[in-house]
Chain A
Amino acid sequence: MSDTLKTTPLHALHQELGGKMVPFAGYDMPVQYKLGIMKEHLHTREACGLFDVSHMGQALLKGEDVQAAIESLTPSDIKGLPVDGIRYSLLMNDEGGIRDDFMVTNRGDHLYIVVNAACKDADFAYIAASLPNHTLELLEDRALLALQGPKAAEVLNRFAPGVDQLIFMNMGEYDIAGIPCLVSRSGYTGEDGYEISVPADRCEELARKLLAENEVEAIGLGARDSLRLEVGLCLYGSDIDTTTSPIEGGLNWAVGKRRREEGGFPGHDVVMKHLADGVERKRVGIKPLGRAPARAHTEIADTDGNIIGEITSGGFGPSFGGPVAMGYVKTDFSKVGTEINLIVRGKSMPAEIVKLPFVPQRYYKG
């Protein structure tokens, strides 16, 4: 199997640490290590976890007025983004659907972008073809680590004094233990933390240094998924995709105010129609009232048994201490407190629409 899969620069380290390797987006990646998903999840919320996210796509977009150029592909306000500010953004299609979600950092004369592993080839081809007067430089010689959790700042500051002053959704260049890195105060766990772009040939050296700290454990993709689900963050391909608009997905905040008025991005007409007329379905938080988790693709019924939607992400929330899910329901049923049923293994299980997130997000805002 692994013969046909790509690997990250930490592949040997994952195996040395007892990582249980699975195929993910074309890469051989650790779903968990020896601690197991539950303990890895809890450790990240209580102390600090190190994630290898090198499978994600990193690139620089360069050229004249690059902030204005990327706005032709995304509804985010990038021109209004301060230098070294980071924004969660969406790549859109003409039907108002989402091609991918990605992170954009304004580096002044260029943009630093990070896209999902499963979409990266398509995203990069699309961006390059759409912006022929700009240059997309793929950072294939760089790896990406995420250090997440309430102890992340204290730990990283030991190697890069001052990095604890970086504000959430901002980036800076730091030498971490002498290794030149591009550091973002960001992540996808709901916890404070960093994403560290590091030269691929020094990634293992950096990972070993971080893992040698008492607070730090290696964390696999299994816990990454349960961590992001508990804090209500979307997984592209499950919770949002080419058929969901940002408004259906509850990502209204990712559509810049100025952009709504000005337009100039794919799907603007659909987004405006959804904002003006409302949507027929919405992404909501769903709490199963029993103990059984409800997984993705579980059908959602009203209390009369009519199908009103589907779960898109679901499982057990270790910090929440019970099953958690999100999915789409007809808008009439999207109000917090609405009683619904989940059809699990042919049986109807009671559940309730709840406000997201299940567990509060804790970011460092200065």
Chain B
Amino acid sequence: MTVKYTEDHEWVLVEGDTATVGITDYAQNALGDIVFVETPAAGTEVSQGDDVAVVESVKTASDVYAPITGEIIEGNDALEDQPELVNSSPEGDGWFFKMTIGDASELDKLLDEAGYKAFCEGLD
């Protein structure tokens, strides 16, 4: 399994032909207290860069984008009642959705852990 990152602060956990997507610790920290998450419905076809989920903190709403092209397998229903999981476990229980990998070559263009870390350091 591999974890990739986007410049929109999403992580993508690749296991076989499935990708699990969430927002990074850096993102949840920047957003602050999460009060609402809307995840996509299973079966939704998405293209890389589409806005597919919404995350709202006390102060603002932000879009979450599809990191790759594919089909949504499931959204994380737990976030409906416990959006705060995104704060407490952004890269674990606070995952947003699982999806198929439509085009594996898109994964190659995402950042690896070191690349993402360097990207975030450049922002501070």
> Contact between B56 and A292 (Cβ–Cβ < 8 Å)?
yes
A37 touches B58 (CB 8 A): yes
Q: Are A315 and B59 in contact (CB under 8 A)?
A: yes
Residues of A close to B35: CB separation below 8 A: 38, 291, 293, 316, 323
Interface residues in A6-47 by Cβ distance below 8 A to B read 31-32, 36-39, 41
Query: What count of chain A residues pass the 8 Å CB interface test?
Result: 18
**Nearest opposing residue in chain B for A221, CB measure:** B59
Contact between A318 and B58 (Cβ–Cβ < 8 Å)?
yes
Distance between Cα atoms of A16 and B83 in the complex (Å): 31
Q: For residue A317, give the distance in angstroms from its CB to the closest CB of chain B.
A: 9
**Given the complex of chains A and B, what is the CA–CA distance between A39 and B33 in angstroms?**
9
Q: How far is the CA of A38 from the CA of B57 in the complex (A)?
A: 9
Cβ contact within 8 Å between B56 and A222: no
Chain B 40-63: CB-based contact to A (< 8 A → 1; otherwise 0): 000000000000001011111100
A226 interface residue (CB < 8 Å to B): yes
Query: Most chain-B Cβ atoms within 10 A of its Cβ — which of A226, A293, A295?
Result: A293
Q: Which residues of A contact B54 (CB under 8 A)?
A: 292, 345
Interface band, chain B: 10 to 19
Instruction: Report the minimum CB–CB distance from A199 to chain B (whole Å).
Output: 33
Which residues of the other chain, B, contact A293 by a CB distance below 8 angstroms? Answer: 35-36, 56, 61
A-side contacts of B36, CB under 8 Å: 291-293, 316, 323
A295 touches B33 (CB 8 A): no
Q: Which one of B32, B35, B59 has the highest number of Cβ atoms from chain A below 10 Å of its Cβ?
A: B59
Digit string of A43-82 for contact with B (CB within 8 Å is 1, else 0)? 0000000000000000000000000000000000000000
Assembly CA distance A41 to B35 (angstroms): 14
Contact A38 B80 (CB under 8 A): no
With the chains together, A61 CA to B90 CA distance in Å? 54
> When the two chains form their complex, are residues B33 and A37 in contact, meaning their CB atoms are under 8 A apart?
yes
Which residues from B are CB-within-8-Å of A39? 33
- Bound Cα distance A315, B61 (Å): 10
Q: Is A316 in contact with B58, judged by CB distance below 8 angstroms?
A: yes
- B25 close to chain A: CB less than 8 A: no
> Considering the chains assembled together, what is the distance between the CA atoms of A323 and B83 in angstroms?
13
- Give chain B interface residues in 25-43, CB to chain A under 8 Å: 32-33, 35-36, 38
| Nearest CB on B from A246, distance (A) | 29
Residue in A closest to B63 when the chains form the complex, CB atoms: A345
> Contact at B38–A292, with CB atoms within 8 Å?
yes
Q: Which residues of A contact B59 (CB under 8 A)?
A: 31, 37, 222, 315
Pair B32/A38 contact, Cβ less than 8 Å = yes
A-side contacts of B83, CB under 8 Å: 291
Spell out A's residues near B (CB within 8 Å): 31-32, 36-39, 41, 222, 226, 291-293, 295, 315-316, 318, 323, 345
